[in-house]
Every structure is written in C-alpha cells, then in structure tokens.
C-alpha cells in the first residue's frame, strides 16, 4: 500500500488480487445479494484508493481494508429495512469435481442450508464470523472495529456457530 | 444432536473455529466459495489508475508538527497576552480604556470549549480600580449571550447607577487570587478586544477530525448530504429495471450519472445505460 501511495499501480493490483475474493465474500454473505455486494465491493475499494495519502502502516493492511468494509456494510444495512435477501440460484455453491452427482447435490444442499443459516444470523454475529473467516482478523481487531470487548466477540461467535451447527444437525450427528 | 432449546454455547465449537477447524468451516470453505466476478476488476483498477492521475493536495503528514500545533498556539497567545497585560499595568489610561471596552456590548460568544481569553484574566489581576468603575464592572447579571444591542447594555449600566448597592451585593466581588477559576464568569462579564477574540477563536476552534486512514477512508467516498447514497440509488435503478420499467430506470440512471460522474457502472447497469437491456422481470 505504501508503494501504491507512492504511485505504483502494480502494487495496488497485487493487493487487489490478493484480497478481492475474501472481500467479495464478506459483502456477499453480509448482504445476501450479488448486485449490492458488487456495489459495496466497488465502493470499498474506491474509498481505500482515495484515502491512499492518509494511509500509514500502523496496522495491518487487512485491518484497514476491513474497517472500511465494515463501515460500508453497516451503513448499508442501516439504510435498508430488510437486511438480507435470499441468495439467487446463480450463487450455486461449488462442489469438488471428483464427487459423484449425488454427492455433489448433497454437498450443494448442505452448503445452501449453511449459507441460509448464515444469512439469518443477526448482523453482529454474522459479521463477526465473516471478519474472522474472510478477513482473517484477530478477535482483538474485530472487537476494536465493533467497539466492543473481546469477550463480546467470542460470545457472538459462539452463538453464531451453535446456530449454524444446529441448522445442519441432521447432517452432522 | 438434541438438547435443550437454549443450551450453553459450546466452547469447543469456538475453539475449533478459531483454529480453522470444524465442520462449519469445512463446509463453508469447501462448498460455499464464491469469487469476485471478473467484471468487477476493471472498474476497480480504473479507479486506482485515475486516482494516481489526480492532482495531489499534500496533507501535513508530519505528526510531530500536528501534535505541537495547539501547544505552540497556546504559547504564542500567552506571550501576546502577557505583553498586553504588562502594557496595561504600566499605563493607567490603557487600563481604563480596556475596562470601558469590557463594559461595551460584547460580540457573539466564542465556542463553549474555547478557553477564556487570557487578557480577561489580566484585567482581573490588575491592581484595584476606583470604586465607581469597580461597581460598574460588577453589574453584569445577564449572560453575554442575551446582550445583543447597545441599548440593552446601556440600560444595564443605567440600572447599575440607579441601584448600585443592591446589584453589587448580588454580584460576587472580584477575587484576584482566583483568576483562573473566574475565567468562565469573566467571559460572561467582559469582552476581549475583537481582534484578539477572533485570533483566539481561530486558534482554539475544534481541531479537524483526525484524518487517520480509517476515519477518512470511511468517509472518503460518502455522498454529500443532499445526494442519495450511491448504493441505495443504484438499488432503486435496478428495482425499476427488474419491475419492467426500463425507461424510468434509465432516467434515474441518467440523474445518477450527473450526481456521481466519477462512478464506474457495473456491466448490468452499463447495458441499461446503453439501452441494450430488456426488463428482467416480464409482466405475465
């Protein structure tokens, strides 16, 4: 990022390609809508780019990126009456190519149910999950971003994981 | 797995998750991996390219200078005020003149957080004045904010002349030992010279928000208060398109483009803009 700040576009492209997929999934799982996720994705990168001169390496780049993303997501959710919409069929989960058709269908169904359960979580729990899994942030970083304590984040994650597991309790004995 | 409806959250689940293990993560990672559509790449890279081509307004990056700005301003003000105080102390005519200025209607008050002008403390710490002038100075029961016209101020002075004993008794006497504590009350009773007040106002005005990368980044792309936020506006355009109202959608999109000329449209909206799209949701 410092290199991009100094005018090196290739440096930005490297950063972009490294982080774009997790960031896109963060928005997609956060809002449950592809078009909105795409807009938020673009807005987030635009905000990051336009603040390049203010960037200082006091924290990890990932932390900075997801702090912007967090604010975009929260602002968007606050403006909407319904936080998520059902995922479209184009969000078909990918299956391992070596699986047979029955296994593929079963895996896809499990993944769909998991994603629906994730989308049904309260925003705070869902976002804690996504920031940890997609953003790779530490509990402390997530807590600082959310303005709560570390134990609160742990509690949110516990409840989120229990709900996700319970949704698929017939699959996982 | 069965159990009570409100079972205690499972710590082992959390531990697994934090170490990157567990069924939830396995399913999520293996089966639910979406990737950013390639169509998003070029708009983002274009924004990054365009940003490098913009003229740069260099912000002061030296935290050192920013940290010292307020202390230096305070020190400069103190030196200036001390110089004035010494000048006033030495010159009785100047002292009387300052007092007369203090009795005149004050300008609008400075921000509440601004410290009281040091010059006022200098007046308070000056040697005692004649009793008549002292009594006139003490008669200022109304807060500064309520004094708007010279007529009102004159009326106050007239009341003081008519009933000086009662009003002087109501007002606490000046205390040369408590100049700092009296500063807020002094700001209500007297006014600093306008030029100094303006300078102090500028020096002690609320500092601009810290432009940390995070705060400024979050706000960097925010729309002005009068414009609808971009995402919400585009969501509305898509809703119109999907509802079989493409002309209205295009009209909204044109208005959006005028409001956000720098915004790069995603491919689906580019198609709408060019007139190539048919309504997604057809009326039966």
Interface with chain B: mutation pick from A32, A51, A167, highest number of B CBs within 10 Å: A51
Instruction: Give Cβ neighbours of residue A124 (< 8 Å, ≥ 6 apart).
Output: A146, A156
Q: Are A16 and A48 in contact (CB under 8 A)?
A: no
- Which tens digits make up the pLDDT trace of B238-284? 989 988 999 999 999 999 988 888 777 887 888 888 876 554 444 44
Q: Are A72 and A60 in contact (CB under 8 A)?
A: no
Q: What is the ipTM of this complex?
A: 0.84
* Dist CA B215 CA B218 (whole Å): 5
CB within 8 Å: B213 and A71: no
Q: Are A36 and A45 in contact (CB under 8 A)?
A: no
Instruction: Return the pLDDT at A132.
Output: 96
CB within 8 Å: B51 and A157: no
* Dist CA B177 CA B125 (whole Å): 8
Of B41, B56, B214, which has the smallest distance from its Cβ to A67's Cβ?
A: B214
Average pLDDT over residues B92-105: 75
Q: Are B171 and B139 in contact (CB under 8 A)?
A: yes
Per-residue three-class SS string for B20-85: CCCHHHHHHHHHCCCCCCHHHHHHHHHHHHHHHHCCCCCCCCCHHHHHHHHHHHHHHHHHHHHHHH
A123 CA: distance to closest CA in chain B (Å): 18
Judging contacts by C-beta atoms under 8 Å, the chain B residues touching residue A110 are 27, 31
Instruction: Return the pLDDT at A131.
Output: 96
- Which tens digits make up the pLDDT trace of A124-146? 999 999 999 999 999 999 999 99
CB within 8 Å: A48 and B217: yes
* Dist CA B99 CA B178 (whole Å): 19
Reported pTM? 0.58
- Which tens digits make up the pLDDT trace of B126-145? 455 455 545 544 444 444 44
Of B17, B230, B266, which has the smallest distance from its Cβ to A161's Cβ?
A: B17
Helix orientation angle between B63-90 and B92-103, rounded to the nearest 10 degrees: 110
Q: Are A151 and A128 in contact (CB under 8 A)?
A: no
CA distances from B56 to A7, A54, B52 (A): 11, 12, 9
- Which tens digits make up the pLDDT trace of B70-91? 888 888 888 888 888 888 778 7
* Dist CA B190 CA B138 (whole Å): 10
Instruction: Return the pLDDT at A87.
Output: 45
Residue segments in chain A with a per-residue pLDDT below the cut of 50 = 83, 85-96
């Amino acid at each position: 990022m410092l290199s991009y700040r100094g005018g090196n576009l290739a440096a930005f492209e490297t950063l972009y390609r490294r982080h774009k997929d997790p960031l896109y999934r963060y928005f997609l799982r956060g809002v449950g809508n592809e078009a909105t996720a795409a807009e938020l994705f673009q807005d987030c990168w635009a905000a990051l780019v336009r603040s390049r001169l203010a960037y200082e390496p006091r924290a990890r780049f990932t932390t900075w990126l997801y702090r912007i993303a967090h604010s975009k997501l929260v602002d968007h959710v606050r403006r909407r009456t319904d936080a998520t919409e059902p995922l479209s069929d184009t969000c078909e989960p990918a299956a391992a190519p070596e699986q047979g058709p029955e296994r593929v269908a079963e895996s896809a169904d499990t993944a769909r149910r998991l994603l629906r359960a994730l989308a049904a979580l309260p925003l705070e729990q869902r976002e804690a999950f996504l920031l940890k899994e997609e953003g790779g942030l530490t509990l402390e970083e997530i807590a600082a971003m959310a303005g709560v304590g570390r134990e609160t984040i742990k509690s949110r994650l516990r409840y989120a994981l229990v709900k996700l597991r319970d949704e698929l309790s017939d699959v996982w004995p | 797995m069965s159990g009570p409806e409100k079972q205690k959250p499972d710590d082992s689940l959390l531990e697994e998750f934090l170490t990157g293990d567990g069924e939830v993560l396995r399913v999520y990672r293996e089966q639910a991996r979406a990737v950013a559509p390639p169509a998003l790449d070029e708009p983002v890279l274009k924004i990054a390219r365009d940003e490098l081509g913009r003229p740069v307004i260099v912000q002061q990056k030296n935290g050192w200078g920013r940290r010292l700005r307020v202390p230096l301003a305070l020190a400069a003000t103190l030196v200036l005020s001390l110089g004035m105080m010494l000048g006033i102390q030495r010159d009785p005519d100047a002292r009387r003149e300052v007092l007369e200025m203090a009795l005149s209607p004050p300008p609008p008050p400075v921000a509440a957080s601004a410290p009281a002008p040091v010059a006022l403390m200098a007046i308070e710490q000056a040697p005692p004045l004649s009793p008549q002038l002292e009594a006139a100075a003490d008669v200022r029961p109304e807060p500064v904010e309520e004094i708007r016209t010279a007529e009102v101020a004159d009326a106050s002075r007239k009341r003081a002349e008519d009933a000086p004993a009662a009003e002087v008794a109501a007002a606490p006497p000046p205390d040369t030992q408590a100049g700092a504590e009296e500063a807020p009350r002094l700001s209500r009773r007297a006014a600093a010279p306008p030029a100094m007040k303006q300078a102090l106002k500028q020096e002690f005005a609320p500092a601009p928000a810290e432009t940390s990368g995070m705060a400024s980044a979050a706000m960097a792309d925010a729309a002005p208060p009068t414009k609808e936020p971009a995402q919400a506006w585009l969501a509305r355009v898509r809703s119109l398109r999907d509802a079989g109202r493409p002309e209205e959608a295009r009209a909204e999109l044109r208005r959006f483009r005028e409001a956000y000329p720098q915004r790069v449209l995603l491919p689906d909206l580019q198609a709408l803009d060019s007139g190539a799209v048919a309504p997604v949701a057809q009326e039966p």
